[in-house]
Amino acid sequence: MDIAIALAVGLIAGLISGMLGVGGGTISIPAMVLLLGVEQHTAQGVSLGAMLFTALVGAFIHYRQGNVKMSMVFLIAPSAVAFSLLGAWAADKVTAEWLTRAFAIFLLIIGCRMLLFNRGGQGVSTS
């Protein structure tokens, strides 16, 4: 049963990931915590591990469709990687309870932003 849930969670996270260019962690982490009872830190670690496959495959498909701007990857990735190390280190210092709260607050902000400041009309290919 848990395996079926995990597969379904992955499938949905992947779909959203491919369509919105996100990693899918906003789907898989709450699903693991709420449905599978996984501890917050572990859910986050699993999310990052699973996301590697999603990002590799997704980036490759988008690249073939001409939708990866390599110069921007090289400009952004170094600081992104350096600061993700800092973030991952900091997460280890926080209790699971507070990490879940921080995660929920982040989701709330993102959700409000997406509803209130949603640029319309860019869905059809603009590139």
Report the sign of the C-alpha dihedral through residues 33, 38, 42, 43, in that order.
negative
Q: Is 98 in the site for other proteins (CB under 8 A)?
A: no
Site for other proteins in 53-72 (CB under 8 A): 53-59, 61-63, 65, 67-70, 72
Structure tokens at 40: 């917050």
Q: Are 16 and 27 in contact (CB under 8 A)?
A: yes
Q: Are 29 and 22 in contact (CB under 8 A)?
A: no
Q: Is 85 in the site for other proteins (CB under 8 A)?
A: yes
CA distance 3 to 30: 16
Q: Is 81 in the site for other proteins (CB under 8 A)?
A: yes
CB of 116 to other proteins, least distance (A): 8
Q: Is 95 in the site for other proteins (CB under 8 A)?
A: no
Site for other proteins in 16-55 (CB under 8 A): 16-26, 28-30, 32-34, 36, 38-39, 41-55
